[in-house]
Amino acid sequence: MHRFVLTALVLATATGCSAPGTFTHSGTLHSETRGVILESDSTAQAGMGGATCEVTISNGEIGDDVSVAWGDDQVSDFDGELVLVMDEEGLYTYEPGAWSGDLVDTGGYVDAAFVDTGVVGVTERLGGLEVNWSGDVNASTQVPGSSVSDMATDAATGTVFVATDEGVIAANTDGATAIGQGDLAVWDSAAEVLYTATTGGSELVALESAGATRFTVELDGSVTALTALGTSGQAMVMIERANGGELVTIDGWTGEVLSTMSTPGITDELASSDSGDTVAIVKRWNTYFLTR
């Protein structure tokens, strides 16, 4: 794998009013992380060294450092006000700048996120997989499969999309339905579509919430990571090519490839700000921030 060093990478965009703009390297966080979320275009929250830390995107500097969970903090989601943190014991919410967090639920969660009614997460237990909602709605739904590789949520409806060893499953409080394939799943609330892909495959598939295919895009490389670019209604896919990596930006309504950006390496984790104007490329020991 190529060493990932960014100095001033520039994204050459397609022409047209929907092109996503020019991305340049903003800052680098030089630390191993357990989950990175962008709370704005200027700050991020990351699980580091057993705590949840604020990071300045422009220079990678670390600010507030708070131990939120009982164990090692893993940052999972942000709802505009609170950060959702996990450890092996449960789920916690944390208001940036506070001295501590609040326990939301106990249990061995492998992934979790905010929804409009509270918090939802998925657990792997001996009896199988279970999606649990807590907050204004308290319910559980069994999900087919024995392991989870990814989870996405439609916060407005509370629907959870779980990528398991038996496919992509849509779950709500009434039950679970298989709707697709892949080990990567990201919900785009702006375009109201679920992006799915298989690591090592070459297709991005966009699914309506009920499972109908909106479009399929054949990519010129092997998929390694996927995210939705906030309110822009666009997907960003990292693919591996013979000479390095490439970030591909795709319109969430039409499937049109809007732009590509060559990178000297690849990653298996991407994150975006709500605006879609800032992207985090998360590596094992470093996180690189791109802005436009």
- The domain spanning residue 264 has which CATH number? 2.40.10.480
pLDDT per residue as tens digits for the range 236-254 = 999 999 888 999 999 999 9
Are 139 and 192 members of one domain?
A: no
Output the pLDDT for position 28.
Answer: 97
Query: What confidence tier does 11 reach under pLDDT thresholds 50, 70, 90?
Result: very low
pLDDT per residue as tens digits for the range 53-68 = 999 999 999 999 999 9
Query: What confidence tier does 262 reach under pLDDT thresholds 50, 70, 90?
Result: very high
Are 250 and 231 members of one domain?
A: yes
pLDDT per residue as tens digits for the range 143-153 = 999 999 999 99
Mean pLDDT of the residues in the chain: 92
pLDDT per residue as tens digits for the range 68-108 = 999 999 999 999 999 999 999 999 999 999 999 999 999 88
Is the pLDDT at 111 greater than 50? The verdict is yes
Output the pLDDT for position 5.
Answer: 43
Are 173 and 188 members of one domain?
A: no
Are 155 and 204 members of one domain?
A: no
In angstroms, the Cα distances linking 288 to 73, 130, 240, 265 are: 21, 34, 17, 12
Q: If you average pLDDT over residues 150-158, what whole number do you get? A: 97
Output the pLDDT for position 137.
Answer: 94
- Residue 112 located in a structural domain: no
Cα–Cα distance for residue pair 21/89, rounded to 1 Å: 42
Is the pLDDT at 2 greater than 60? The verdict is no
In angstroms, the Cα distances linking 36 to 139, 164, 283 are: 28, 22, 11
Domain of residue 254: give its range: 181-275
The whole-model pTM stands at 0.91
Q: What is the tally of structural domains in the chain?
A: 3
- Residue 42 located in a structural domain: yes
DSSP summary character for residue 182: -
Q: Which residues of 33-62 are buried (b: 16+ CB within 10 A; e: fewer)?
A: bbbbbbbebebbbbbbbebbbbbbbeebeb
Are 139 and 57 members of one domain?
A: no
Please say which residue of 46, 77, 107 terminates a domain: 107
Please say which residue of 131, 164, 180 terminates a domain: 180
Q: If you average pLDDT over residues 199-211, what whole number do you get? A: 96
- Residue 82 located in a structural domain: yes
Are 52 and 85 members of one domain?
A: yes
Query: What confidence tier does 7 reach under pLDDT thresholds 50, 70, 90?
Result: very low
Query: What confidence tier does 21 reach under pLDDT thresholds 50, 70, 90?
Result: low
- Residue 15 located in a structural domain: no
- Residue 13 located in a structural domain: no
Q: Can you say how many angstroms the Cα of residue 191 is from the centroid of all Cα atoms in its chain?
A: 16
Are 172 and 91 members of one domain?
A: no
pLDDT per residue as tens digits for the range 31-49 = 999 999 999 999 999 999 9
Please say which residue of 180, 200, 217 terminates a domain: 180
Are 157 and 195 members of one domain?
A: no
Output the pLDDT for position 8.
Answer: 37
Is the pLDDT at 264 greater than 90? The verdict is no
- Residue 146 located in a structural domain: yes
- Residue 98 located in a structural domain: yes
